[in-house]
Amino acid sequence: MLIKTLLASLALACCTLAQAALPVYGYTVKNTYPHDAQAFTEGLFYQDGVLYESTGLNGQSSIRKVELETGKILLKRDIPSQYFGEGIAPVGKKIISLTWSNQIGFIFDIDTFQPSGTFRYEGEGWALTTDGKRLYMSDGSQYLRVLDPETLQVTRRIRVSAEGTPVTQLNELEFVNGEIFANIWQTDRIARIDPFSGQVRGWIDLKGLDRLAGVQPSADNVANGIAYDAAKKRLFVTGKRWPKLFEIELKKLP
């Protein structure tokens, strides 16, 4: 966590320098839902009418199935305490789960959360998402790894940049309408990334949403967590230890 925090100011500087010529989107809150205020949210996605969430911190990491409307945890599996849980993404009837610094990932059955395997990777694991055909993985650097969903091997890397400036600290990921949305760690910004070129197409500014959630800005409760309901075109966001999860509508700022 210390490494992430120390690098956060660099990420914010990169965002500030690169954002001038790119569109910036604000938000309107359409709905507010309960969220577990103890959940140190690392990964989030919406599928078959429910939210799937992963939480971090050693001894507190888990994967969960959560009822959107009530925040009720329908199913939970704890990750062994020696692991710091990170991002998750679905692959068919499986959930692929990362850990931060152990260079190991877990595979769970999406219905029962029973473990069905592990896999290895180099470096850190931060976040995962999928476009339905391939996985995209962040390791906190300016590169996203593209993984084969069957072998979980890297097939290529995407360098993420905004107006020529590398963008790092790519945290929780979500594939939304042909773009990868990425929380920028320790900021209230989401980058909208072209999954082929790696170019940032625009920024989403979540400034003030933490206060709407009832939390004070700090390193421990930053915005983190993006989920998308493709059928109903609903975009959900939350943060670490936020007691609320929001459905938002994006609005391009002047």
Task: Give the mean pLDDT of the chain.
Answer: 92
Quote the pLDDT of residue 217: 77
For the chain, the domain total comes to 1
| pLDDT tens for each residue of 161-198 | 999 999 999 999 999 999 999 999 999 999 999 999 99
Q: Residues 56-82, buried b or exposed e (16+ Cβ, 10 A)?
A: bbeeebbbbbbebeebeeeeebebeee
pTM reported for the whole predicted model: 0.90
Kindly state the average pLDDT of the residues 223-236. Answer: 97
Q: Residues 138-161, buried b or exposed e (16+ Cβ, 10 A)?
A: bbbbbbbbbbebeebeeeeebebb
Quote the pLDDT of residue 220: 81
Least confidently predicted of 124-133, 144-153, 208-217, 231-240: 208-217
Quote the pLDDT of residue 242: 97
Residue 147 has pLDDT above 90, yes or no: yes
**CATH number of the domain residue 214 falls in:** 2.120.10.30
Task: Give residue 13's domain range.
Answer: 2-252
